[in-house]
């Protein structure tokens, strides 16, 4: 059994971003879209369904606002998806009943009790939304500064040297397949969260770490490699850095070969015990970088400080969300959800 971990999406300068819609629209899967308030058991339900199919390969998608919570589960053999369909990632059915259905956990809560807590719920919800708005402002400021860094360093990339390196590496690791064009899937390995900037490292994958504090060279590398890989017939997974305006390529994975390329930047500061990280400083014009050294240092410091404030805002948002969960948890009849889990397990087995 293989289990690959992702985030459903992540915060960005314009709000929450996710590419999960394309998976829900896949008619080869049956999707259960779960609706319900905070603390109504959406994540717990998905965890129980996942444990009911221990021998299946699966993908687990965590919540970037609460990395301990599930936002989605994909059962690969059963061809079933379960996903939280509530704000900020609201999903609906494209083919109701035939390909997707709605699971409304709201039918298990005591509406009268929730009405009695109206003022407290509204207050906690308002605080929660304001903290997320504050976080978005800090991310937008980060993105503006990162754009300035990219504007400085992009002309300094030695594309000839980097192209030669990509060609040698691709030839060594990725023989051409007889199949046609490969597909590109966008799946989120990294996200800013209340616990900092987190990256889900795929288990049992050969990891190549791209050490590139300036980000432009590694983005160029990953885009060129992605094009080469799909041209050779490989399906790939691309993880974008959503805290940037440019949506740079941050990581790239080749599931068929269990190979993943991860970047270490001023945003994620990723450190891994790999034998030999690829040092991207050798692919930049040293004179240009040295000339702008002070400005790049200032930008790096500013990004770090703004990121710390964004993380702090997410921590405060989670505290408000925890208050909300308490009101709803106390108003939910979990016996009904227990019965629903049993029905779902039987239903999923009948589908597969």
Whether pLDDT at 265 is above 70? yes
Provide the mean pLDDT of the chain: 94
Task: Evaluate whether residue 295 is within a structural domain.
Answer: yes
Q: What local confidence, expressed as pLDDT, does residue 179 receive? A: 75
Q: Are residues 98 and 141 in the same domain?
A: no
Q: Are residues 199 and 239 in the same domain?
A: yes
Q: Average the pLDDT over each of 158-162, 189-193, 270-274, 310-314 and give the range with the smallest value.
A: 270-274
Q: Are residues 149 and 249 in the same domain?
A: yes
Q: Are residues 139 and 86 in the same domain?
A: no
- Choose among 195, 185, 213: nearest CA to 4: 185
Task: Evaluate whether residue 314 is within a structural domain.
Answer: no
Task: Evaluate whether residue 325 is within a structural domain.
Answer: no
Query: Rounded mean pLDDT of 297-303?
Result: 97
Q: Are residues 105 and 150 in the same domain?
A: no
Rounded Cα distance, 220 and 239, in Å:
14
Residue 73 lies in domain: 3-109+333-351
Task: Evaluate whether residue 265 is within a structural domain.
Answer: yes
Rounded Cα distance, 159 and 165, in Å:
10
Q: Are residues 83 and 185 in the same domain?
A: no
Task: Evaluate whether residue 200 is within a structural domain.
Answer: yes
Q: What is the pLDDT of residues 130-169, one digit of tens each?
A: 999 999 999 999 999 999 999 999 999 999 999 999 999 9
Q: How many domains does the chain have?
A: 2
Rounded Cα distance, 145 and 128, in Å:
26
Q: Are residues 82 and 227 in the same domain?
A: no
CB 135 within 8 A of CB 127: no
CB 82 within 8 A of CB 46: yes
Q: Are residues 103 and 142 in the same domain?
A: no
Task: Evaluate whether residue 306 is within a structural domain.
Answer: no
Q: Are residues 287 and 140 in the same domain?
A: yes
Q: Are residues 279 and 150 in the same domain?
A: yes
Q: Are residues 151 and 197 in the same domain?
A: yes
Rounded Cα distance, 37 and 107, in Å:
11
Q: How many CB atoms lie within 10 A of CB 323?
A: 18
Q: What is the pLDDT of residues 209-263, one digit of tens each?
A: 999 999 999 999 999 999 999 999 999 999 999 999 888 999 999 999 999 999 9
Q: What local confidence, expressed as pLDDT, does residue 116 receive? A: 96
Task: Evaluate whether residue 313 is within a structural domain.
Answer: no
Task: Evaluate whether residue 172 is within a structural domain.
Answer: yes
Q: Are residues 165 and 65 in the same domain?
A: no
CB 103 within 8 A of CB 33: yes
Whether pLDDT at 352 is above 70? no
Model pTM?
Answer: 0.94
């Amino acid at each position: 059994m293989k289990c690959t971990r992702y985030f459903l999406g992540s915060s960005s300068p314009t709000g929450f971003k996710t590419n999960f819609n394309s998976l829900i629209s896949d008619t080869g899967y049956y999707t259960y879209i779960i609706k319900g308030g905070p603390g109504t058991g959406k994540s717990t339900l998905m965890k129980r369904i996942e444990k009911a199919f221990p021998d299946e390969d699966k993908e687990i998608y965590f919540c970037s606002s609460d990395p301990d919570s599930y936002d989605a589960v994909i059962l690969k053999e059963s061809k079933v998806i379960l996903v939280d369909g509530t704000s900020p990632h609201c999903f609906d059915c494209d083919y109701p009943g035939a390909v997707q259905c709605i699971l409304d956990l709201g039918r298990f809560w005591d509406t009268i009790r929730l009405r009695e807590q109206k003022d407290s719920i509204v207050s906690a919800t308002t605080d929660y939304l304001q903290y997320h708005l504050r976080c978005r402002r800090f991310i937008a400021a980060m993105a503006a500064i990162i754009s300035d860094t990219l504007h400085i360093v992009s002309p300094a990339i030695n594309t000839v040297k980097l192209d030669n390196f990509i060609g040698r590496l691709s030839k060594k690791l990725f023989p051409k397949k007889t199949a046609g064009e490969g597909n590109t899937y966008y799946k989120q390995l990294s996200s800013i969260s209340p616990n900092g900037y987190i990256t889900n490292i795929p288990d049992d994958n050969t990891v190549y770490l791209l050490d590139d504090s300036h980000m432009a060279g590694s983005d160029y590398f990953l885009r060129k490699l992605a094009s080469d890989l799909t041209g050779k017939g490989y399906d790939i997974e691309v993880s974008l850095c959503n805290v940037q305006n440019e949506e740079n390529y941050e990581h790239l994975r080749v599931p068929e070969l269990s190979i993943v390329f991860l970047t270490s930047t001023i945003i994620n500061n990723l450190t891994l015990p790999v034998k030999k990280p690829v040092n991207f400083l050798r692919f930049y014009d040293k004179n240009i970088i040295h000339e702008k050294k002070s400005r790049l240092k200032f930008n790096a410091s500013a990004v770090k400080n703004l990121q710390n404030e964004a993380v702090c805002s997410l921590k405060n948002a989670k505290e408000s969300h925890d208050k909300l969960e308490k009101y709803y948890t106390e108003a939910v009849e979990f016996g009904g959800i227990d019965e629903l889990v049993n029905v779902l397990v039987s239903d999923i087995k009948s589908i597969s």
